[in-house]
Amino acid sequence: MKFQHPGADSTNLSLVARRSSARIEGRLRDARGKLLNKGYATARANIGGRNYSVSGQVASGYFSLHVIPGDWQVAASTWRSPTFGGELPSPISPGARPTPDYIDPPAQWLSVTNGVNNCEFVTEDVPASVSLMAMVVGENGIVLKDTTVQIPGNPFGEWQEVDSHGIARFTILPGLNTISASPSWRVAQWEQLLFPTVSLNLTAPSNYVVLIVRAPTACLHGTVSDQEGSPLAFQVSGNGQVQGTNYSSVVCPDSELGFCLPVIPGDWVITVPDGVANGLGFQSPRSETVLIPATGLAPSVDFVLEPFAGDFRNAQWSTPSRKLTGGLELELRAQATLTWRIDRSDDLKT
């Protein structure tokens, strides 16, 4: 459980272990019905404001997880510790993880009652791999040697340092892949540059991508403070989209606790990282979207952070607003580090 300490007063915090009274029994098979001999299963739930998780191995196509009644999210994988929707594996060195034979099936929600509760996962065969050659260059076309290329969305989570020609080579799965460049961990001369990320649907047997690193042309000024106006020394990050390419920028506050975020013309989304704010007792602030003009001064962005009020596990819906297409749009304000399940009725009267 996550706990906000009230201050100077001492606090007695009890963590209560629950004895399981239910069981999730599952099967893991391929699209042809064959039960798979190995794999891993994980389930997690938030019950009564407390987070629970259990894990187990798959043997002869079956797994069993001891749980308690409640709504559980269950995931399975044939080759790694399972991840849930929206999570990506951390990039790893080539060859550090075995090549999977199957694609991980999507996670499932299961309403668990006392006794045995069943679920089944069906995997798909990994398609034939394709090759990717990615080159990292500056705006002047000169290759940047001390850089790395990452493919975090690929099941292998690969990263590679470029060679003397500024090129990194990969064998990846076809389909939508996210490709990004970043400075090498060994050098710091590229810190003032903006590194790109592109998402491309790669289906050809051989693919070639050029990643262009840009130099910032403007500075986005702003501050981060609490409700009393006291400045907070929080890191600020930005993600800008320019002609189909995403560029990221990160800055720490200066000596006066303001920030100057290096940017280039385009649409930028500016955020204060959730983990930093939540860890110090502040709610996750709303991201700010700004347009950096090609000429003239860039706008300023000021964040005012609010402390957690009461039970910060509660989620709140904004007042519905009607869209031009006739539908309704709602915004969910909630703790960013938790998983929220949203149910809807089949009509707006219920």
Each residue's pLDDT, cut to its tens digit, for the chain (350 residues) gives 666 666 667 777 778 888 999 999 999 999 999 999 889 999 999 888 788 999 999 999 999 999 999 999 999 999 888 888 655 454 444 445 556 788 889 999 999 999 999 999 999 888 888 899 999 999 888 998 889 998 876 555 578 889 999 999 988 888 888 899 988 876 655 567 899 999 888 889 999 999 999 999 999 999 999 888 888 888 899 999 888 889 989 888 887 778 999 999 999 999 998 877 877 778 888 899 999 998 888 889 999 988 876 544 567 777 777 777 778 888 887 766 667 778 777 776 65
Torsion of CA 224, 247, 130, 164, to 10 degrees: -110
| Cα–Cα distance, 154 to 175 (Å, whole number) | 10
Q: Are 212 and 220 in contact (CB under 8 A)?
A: no
Specify the fold of 22-125: Immunoglobulin-like (2.60.40)
Among 50, 74, 52, which Cα is nearest to 313's?
Answer: 50
> What is the pTM (predicted TM-score) of this model?
0.61
Compute the radius of gyration of the chain from its Cα atoms: 24
* 133 Cβ contact partners less than 8 Å away, ≥ 6 residues apart: 167, 168, 169, 170, 206, 207, 208, 209
CA 264 to chain centre: 24
218-305 belongs to which homologous superfamily? Carboxypeptidase-like, regulatory domain (2.60.40.1120)
130-213 belongs to which homologous superfamily? Carboxypeptidase-like, regulatory domain (2.60.40.1120)
Q: Please report the DSSP string for 1-14 in residue order.
A: ------SSS-----
DSSP structural state of residue 290: E
For the chain, where do the domains classified as CATH 2.60.40.1120 start and end?
A: 22-125, 130-213, 218-305
